[in-house]
């Protein structure tokens, strides 16, 4: 029996079910597969008398990929009952396969994630190829969903409530060896060719042994490992678990809370009821907005970035062998670390060898932590350090495929180091600036070849931040953009590509967040309200705290540079209310930021930071009428408006760059799916209406021009 997604063969009492979705590189739980599974389960039930065993296998390089996420993107709240029926239908067929009284063996030739791992769990006996690159697990929480195809119920019954939590609530993935260790895989083989013979051998050995044909939870003597929620030890832990979870999610992510509820509630009832509880929670999430937002961005948009959708086509792949970094400060030393740990020879140049050596010591410090924890050998550490050459001589840059300047944000200084270093490039090499705000086309004027000059904007700290913003200047050619993209991917980071403008995309949008916060302080809204509202909306930290970390003096420096640039063009730059307040903090109150002793916050030695007490007297106005929802909305909507403006102006050329850039670059809340998905998730009309209300009360930062409205509609994703 052959369907469009599954092949069924019965020979010598062995039913082999091979997943093979036609026209797809992977197997998914698409609607066709759901229909085909109905037919296969019915056939198995019909053939029961002839069966000695069932083998689950895959014709793809992976075992099974999971749910059809495009289908989830098209669902709405009204689809809840239909989605619940579909989930239950899949589980009913799983149940038919695993309760025929014959052994079922899952042959795991490759990855089985999400729904794929739930398919694997149908087998009473699971055999995997012992390849460390193969991953198993339940990553649904990261997409705003839960493992509702039996994953929660089965993993909880296999491992126990406490031991299952990392795999269910934290989406911890695991390889074949860990799977064997925790008991969710029973055998490992060296090659895919050994899977079927081992499966047949197990089926043969299982004849006449009822326990080999039954899952542990279906046995009469089954007891949950570690105890059920009625166990006093477990009960004590479960009383605090929801509060701990709420602290992490801030109530913005329904999936972890639903997963915990399904685990606990399911542990108190029989298996079939537990499966139904799980289905109800999953149906609710699949038809909710947060899951759609997160799937859109963390699956589809992320795959677009990894697949190089913003990379110019028709340019051969590129791998830089030797890269120069100018400036061994915080950014330069971070870039050197990122390169060396990925095997790229690095020349780290500063004004003195001592300064360059200090920059190299950053890599020593970070790798030493890993050596101390046993995560890296001393030999591996030495190999990484040997790749970094600290120097004060430009001559050592000779032969670099790429040179990146990471010096102070000053045009003249950047021009000087560019002219000094460029002649050292290898033939066909290119030059990059790690500026975060200065337009690339202007900096390229110091270059001997503007076509080979590009912005590569890393985020601080480089070792932790995944995003890198590639900025195309007016003259930057496609080959240089493609090479920059490949270089960023070689570092294991996420590249987005934007066009040149003041502040590019991330710094410009981030600036609106912090300056909206400063503006609200100037209006008399209490500083604690602003900071807490940002956190409640899902930002990692409040705008005033961020300004302190990045230095208020840096914001003033950028403001002064902007004024000079406008003057050169015969224009006058009018500072925003937020910029004016920050300038006042630095120049009048001598509060330049954390590094210089204090800004909006005080930093007592050995104590916890706290808001500067003088803010209350200087800025708080007791009679000011403020609304918490308005404060939250101003912080999120202001960033979304700026992102939409970047899209309309062509600074952003794709939605995926905007969403990934906003989450990984500026900490826009993940529950929204990013600054553009925030708009598309609520609906463009609803967004426009709320912006109009905010603009009427809080100024031009919330005005959407007709061109912006048109751009939002033009780029709206379709599923």
**Quick one: three-class SS letters along 338-401?**
HHHCCCCEEEEECCCHHHHHHHHHHHHHHHHHHHHCCCCCHHHHHHHHHCEEEECCHHHHCCEE
Tokens representing 259 are 């997963």
Task: Answer yes or no: do 351 and 387 share one domain.
Answer: yes
Residue at a domain's end among 502, 526, 555 = 502
Separation between Cα atoms, residue 465 and residue 310, nearest integer Å? 20
Largest CA distance in the chain: 91
Separation between Cα atoms, residue 187 and residue 181, nearest integer Å? 10
Tokens 């906003």 label which residue? 662
Written in H, E and C, the secondary structure of 677-696 is: HHHHHHCHHHHHHHHHHHHH
pLDDT tens track for 243-299: 888 888 899 999 999 999 999 999 999 999 999 999 999 999 999 999 999 999 999
pLDDT tens track for 326-384: 999 999 999 999 999 999 999 999 999 999 999 999 999 999 999 999 999 999 999 99
pLDDT tens track for 170-181: 999 999 999 999
Task: Answer yes or no: do 532 and 598 share one domain.
Answer: yes
Secondary structure class of 14 (helix, strand, coil): strand
Task: Answer yes or no: do 403 and 432 share one domain.
Answer: yes
Question: For residues 330-358, b (16+ Cβ closer than 10 Å) or e, as one string?
Answer: ebbbbbbbbbbbeebbbbbbbeeeebbbb
Residues taking part in catalysis:
118, 140
Q: Hey, what's the torsion of the CAs at 68, 69, 73, 78, to 10 degrees?
A: 50
User: Residues 499-521: what's their mean pLDDT?
Assistant: 94
Separation between Cα atoms, residue 503 and residue 436, nearest integer Å? 6
Residue at a domain's end among 438, 470, 502 = 502
In a domain, 669, yes or no: no
In a domain, 407, yes or no: yes
Q: How many domains does the chain have?
A: 3
Separation between Cα atoms, residue 108 and residue 4, nearest integer Å? 21
Tokens representing 44 are 């198995």
Secondary structure class of 469 (helix, strand, coil): strand
Task: Answer yes or no: do 50 and 94 share one domain.
Answer: yes
**CATH number, domain with residue 75:** 3.90.226.10
Residue 113 has pLDDT above 90, yes or no: yes
Written in H, E and C, the secondary structure of 243-268 is: HHHHHHHCCCCHHHHHHHHHHHHHHC
In a domain, 309, yes or no: no
User: Residues 591-601: what's their mean pLDDT?
Assistant: 94
Closest C-alpha to 658, from 141, 301, 358 = 301
Residue 182 has pLDDT above 90, yes or no: yes
Indicate the pLDDT class of residue 557, thresholds 50, 70 and 90.
confident
Secondary structure class of 126 (helix, strand, coil): strand
In which element (H, E) is residue 644 found? helix 628-649
- The beta strand positions in 59-186, using DSSP E, are 66-67, 104-108, 112-113, 125-129, 136-137
Task: Answer yes or no: do 369 and 351 share one domain.
Answer: yes
CB count within 10 Å of CB 598 equals 19
For residues 655 and 309, is the Cβ–Cβ distance under 8 A?
A: no
For residues 639 and 668, is the Cβ–Cβ distance under 8 A?
A: yes
Indicate the pLDDT class of residue 86, thresholds 50, 70 and 90.
very high
Task: Answer yes or no: do 144 and 246 share one domain.
Answer: yes
**CATH number, domain with residue 359:** 3.40.50.720
In a domain, 465, yes or no: yes
pLDDT tens track for 205-237: 999 999 999 999 999 999 999 998 988 888 888
Question: Percent helix, strand and coil across the chain, each rounded to 5?
Answer: 55, 15, 30
Please spell the DSSP secondary structure of 576-620, one letter per residue.
-HHHHHHHHHHHTS---BGGGTBSSEE--TTS--EE-THHHHHH-
Q: Is the peptide bond before 665 cis (omega within 30 degrees of 0)?
A: no
User: Residues 68-73: what's their mean pLDDT?
Assistant: 88
Residue 101 region, left (φ>0) first, then alpha (ψ -120 to 50), else beta? left
Separation between Cα atoms, residue 11 and residue 323, nearest integer Å? 60
Task: Answer yes or no: do 482 and 584 share one domain.
Answer: no
**CATH number, domain with residue 692:** 1.10.1040.50
Task: Answer yes or no: do 47 and 155 share one domain.
Answer: yes
Separation between Cα atoms, residue 362 and residue 366, nearest integer Å? 6
Task: Answer yes or no: do 539 and 487 share one domain.
Answer: no
Cα four-point dihedral sign 139, 142, 147, 149: negative
In a domain, 312, yes or no: no
Q: Which domain holds residue 258?
A: 6-287
The proportion of the chain whose per-residue pLDDT surpasses 70, expressed as a percent, equals 100
Cα four-point dihedral sign 208, 212, 213, 218: positive
Residue at a domain's end among 471, 502, 533 = 502
In a domain, 35, yes or no: yes
CA-atom Rg of the chain in angstroms:
29
- When the pLDDT of each residue in the chain is averaged and rounded to a whole number, the result is 95
Residue 503 has pLDDT above 90, yes or no: no
For residues 496 and 522, is the Cβ–Cβ distance under 8 A?
A: no
CB count within 10 Å of CB 31 equals 11
User: Residues 659-663: what's their mean pLDDT?
Assistant: 97
Task: Answer yes or no: do 515 and 498 share one domain.
Answer: no
Task: Answer yes or no: do 490 and 521 share one domain.
Answer: no
Residue 542 has pLDDT above 90, yes or no: yes
Tokens 């309200």 label which residue? 529
Question: For residues 297-315, b (16+ Cβ closer than 10 Å) or e, as one string?
Answer: bbbbbbebbeebebbbeeb
pLDDT tens track for 428-482: 999 999 998 889 999 999 999 999 999 999 998 999 999 999 999 999 999 999 9
Task: Answer yes or no: do 497 and 579 share one domain.
Answer: no
- pLDDT value for 437: 80
In a domain, 676, yes or no: no
Separation between Cα atoms, residue 285 and residue 146, nearest integer Å? 8
pLDDT tens track for 691-715: 999 999 999 999 999 999 999 999 9
For residues 138 and 120, is the Cβ–Cβ distance under 8 A?
A: no
Contacts of 568 (CB under 8 A, 6+ apart): none
- pLDDT value for 315: 95
- The beta strand positions in 485-556, using DSSP E, are 494-499
Separation between Cα atoms, residue 643 and residue 662, nearest integer Å? 8
Residue 192 region, left (φ>0) first, then alpha (ψ -120 to 50), else beta? alpha
In a domain, 222, yes or no: yes
**Within 160-288, where are the H helices?**
161-168, 176-182, 195-205, 232-249, 254-267, 271-286
In which element (H, E) is residue 431 found? strand 425-433
């Amino acid at each position: 029996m052959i369907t469009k997604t599954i092949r069924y063969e019965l020979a010598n009492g062995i039913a082999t079910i091979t997943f093979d979705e036609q026209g797809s590189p992977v197997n998914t739980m698409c609607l066709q597969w759901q229909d085909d599974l109905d037919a296969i389960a019915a056939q198995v039930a019909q053939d029961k008398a002839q069966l000695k065993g069932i083998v689950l296998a895959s014709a793809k390089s992976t075992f099974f990929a999971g749910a059809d996420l495009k289908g989830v993107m098209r669902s709405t709240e009204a689809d809840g009952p239909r989605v619940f029926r579909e989930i239950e239908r899949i589980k009913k067929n799983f149940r038919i396969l695993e309760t025929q009284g014959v052994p079922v063996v899952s042959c795991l030739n490759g990855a089985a994630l999400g729904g794929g791992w739930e398919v694997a769990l149908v087998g009473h006996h699971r055999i995997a190829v012992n390849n460390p690159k193969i991953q198993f697990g339940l990553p649904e929480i990261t997409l705003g969903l839960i493992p509702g195809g039996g994953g929660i119920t089965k993993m909880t019954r296999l491992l126990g409530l406490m031991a299952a939590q990392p795999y269910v609530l934290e989406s911890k993935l695991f390889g074949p060896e860990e799977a064997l260790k925790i008991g969710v895989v029973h055998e490992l083989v060296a090659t895919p060719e050994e899977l079927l013979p081992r499966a047949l051998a197990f089926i043969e050995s299982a004849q006449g042994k009822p326990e080999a044909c039954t899952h542990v939870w279906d046995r009469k003597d089954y007891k949950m490992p570690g105890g059920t929620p009625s166990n006093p030890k477990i009960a004590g832990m479960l009383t605090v678990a929801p509060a701990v979870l709420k602290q992490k999610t801030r109530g913005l992510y329904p999936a972890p809370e639903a997963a915990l509820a399904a685990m606990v509630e399911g542990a108190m009832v029989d298996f079939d009821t537990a499966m139904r509880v799980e289905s109800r929670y999953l149906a609710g999430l699949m038809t909710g907005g947060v899951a759609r937002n997160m799937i859109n961005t963390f699956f589809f948009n992320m795959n677009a970035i990894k697949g190089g959708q913003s990379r110019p086509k028709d340019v051969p792949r590129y791998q830089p062998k030797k890269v120069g970094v100018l400036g061994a400060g915080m950014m330069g030393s971070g870039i050197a670390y990122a390169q060396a740990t990925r095997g790229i020879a690095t020349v780290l140049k500063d004004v003195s060898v001592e300064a360059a050596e200090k920059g190299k010591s950053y890599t020593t410090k970070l790798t030493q932590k890993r050596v101390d924890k046993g995560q890296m050998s001393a030999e591996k550490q030495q190999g990484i350090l040997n790749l970094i050459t600290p120097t004060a001589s430009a001559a050592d840059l000779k032969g670099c495929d790429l040179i990146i300047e990471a010096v102070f944000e000053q045009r003249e200084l950047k021009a000087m180091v560019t002219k000094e270093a460029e002649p050292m490039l290898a033939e066909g090499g290119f030059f990059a600036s790690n500026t975060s705000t200065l337009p690339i086309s202007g900096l390229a004027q110091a270059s001997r070849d503007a076509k080979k000059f590009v912005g590569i904007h890393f985020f601080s700290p480089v070792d932790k931040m995944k995003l890198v913003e590639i900025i195309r200047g007016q003259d930057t050619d496609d080959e240089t953009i493609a090479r920059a993209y490949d270089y960023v991917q070689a570092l294991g980071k996420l590249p987005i590509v934007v066009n040149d403008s003041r502040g590019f995309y991330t710094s410009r949008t981030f600036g609106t967040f912090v300056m909206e916060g400063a503006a609200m302080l100037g209006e008399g809204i209490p500083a604690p309200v602003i900071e807490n509202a940002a956190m409640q909306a899902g930002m990692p930290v409040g705008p005033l705290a961020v300004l302190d970390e990045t230095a208020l003096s840096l914001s003033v420096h950028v403001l002064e540079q902007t004024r000079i640039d406008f003057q050169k063009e015969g224009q006058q730059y009018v500072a925003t209310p937020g910029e004016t307040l920050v300038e006042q903090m630095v120049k009048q109150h001598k509060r330049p930021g954390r590094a210089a002793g204090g800004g909006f916050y005080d930093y007592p030695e050995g104590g916890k930071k706290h808001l500067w007490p003088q803010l209350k007297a200087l800025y708080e106005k007791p009679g000011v009428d403020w609304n918490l929802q308005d404060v939250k909305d101003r912080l999120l909507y202001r960033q979304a408006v700026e992102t939409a403006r970047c899209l309309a102006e062509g600074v952003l050329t794709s939605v995926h760059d905007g969403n990934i850039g906003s989450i990984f670059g500026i900490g826009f809340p993940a529950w929204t799916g990013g600054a553009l998905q925030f708009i598309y998730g609520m609906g463009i009309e609803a967004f426009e209406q709320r912006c109009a209300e905010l603009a009427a009360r809080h100024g031009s930062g919330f005005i959407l021009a007709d061109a912006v409205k048109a751009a939002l509609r033009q780029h709206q994703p379709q599923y």
